[in-house]
């Protein structure tokens, strides 16, 4: 049985519960800053590299593109390849991060990332699981929108094989986090 989804869910719960992370997320969104994905990658790298269940973190990993799938690019990058403790040396979980103020744009970009991952040469790595983590903003923090249900319907309407494995509204930051597999 693949326990990677539960592992990623636990990692994300721990990451999103850090008070400093929450404070910074809130300030980025309230400042109407659009491109804070770099900050998120840096913060996530620091968190993962210190996590007791993570043996190795490889940020911005480069892999060759399978030219049968995409002959326009030679190399694709993955935000993170992480290896759990006690996992085989070449057995990585791949993670792509997306940040967007708009939930539909965020999911659209996550779907585009899944196409990018599918184009990587499988012979170069043992990417045993791939997860897409997206953050988007809900201006009305007190509204009880069912964004998770909406995300499932959005993916189904686009005939995507991706599925929502975790969704959380991060405290009172106004930030919503969705994890797709």
What dihedral do alpha carbons 128, 54, 35, 152 form, nearest 10°? 50
Is 77 strand, coil or helix? strand
Q: Are 81 and 93 in contact (CB under 8 A)?
A: yes
pLDDT of residue 180: 92
Q: Where are the domains of the chain?
A: 4-180
What is the model's pLDDT at position 34? 66
What was the pLDDT predicted at 156? 82
Question: What integer best gives the mean pLDDT of the chain?
Answer: 83
If you average pLDDT over residues 76-97, what whole number do you get? 89
- Assess whether pLDDT exceeds 60 at residue 71: yes
* Strand ranges for the chain from DSSP E: 54-64, 75-84, 91-99, 126-137, 164-170, 175-180
- Residues 173/18, Cβ–Cβ less than 8 Å: no
45-60, pLDDT tens digit by residue?
999 999 999 999 999 9
């Amino acid at each position: 049985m693949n326990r990677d989804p539960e592992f990623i869910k636990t990692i994300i719960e721990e990451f999103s519960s850090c008070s400093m992370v929450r404070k910074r997320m809130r300030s980025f969104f309230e400042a109407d800053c659009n491109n804070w994905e770099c900050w998120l990658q840096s913060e996530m790298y620091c968190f993962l590299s210190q996590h007791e269940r993570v043996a190795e973190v490889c940020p911005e990993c480069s892999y060759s593109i399978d030219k049968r799938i995409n002959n326009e690019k030679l190399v694709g990058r993955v935000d993170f390849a992480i290896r759990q403790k006690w996992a085989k040396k070449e057995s990585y979980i791949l993670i792509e991060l997306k940040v967007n103020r708009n939930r539909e744009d965020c999911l659209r970009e996550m779907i585009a990332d899944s196409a990018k991952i599918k184009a990587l040469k499988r012979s170069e790595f043992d990417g045993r699981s791939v997860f897409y983590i997206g953050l988007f903003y809900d201006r009305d923090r007190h509204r009880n929108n069912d964004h998770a249900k909406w995300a499932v319907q959005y993916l189904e309407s686009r005939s995507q094989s991706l599925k929502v494995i975790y969704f959380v509204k991060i405290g009172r930051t106004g930030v919503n986090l969705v994890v797709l597999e």
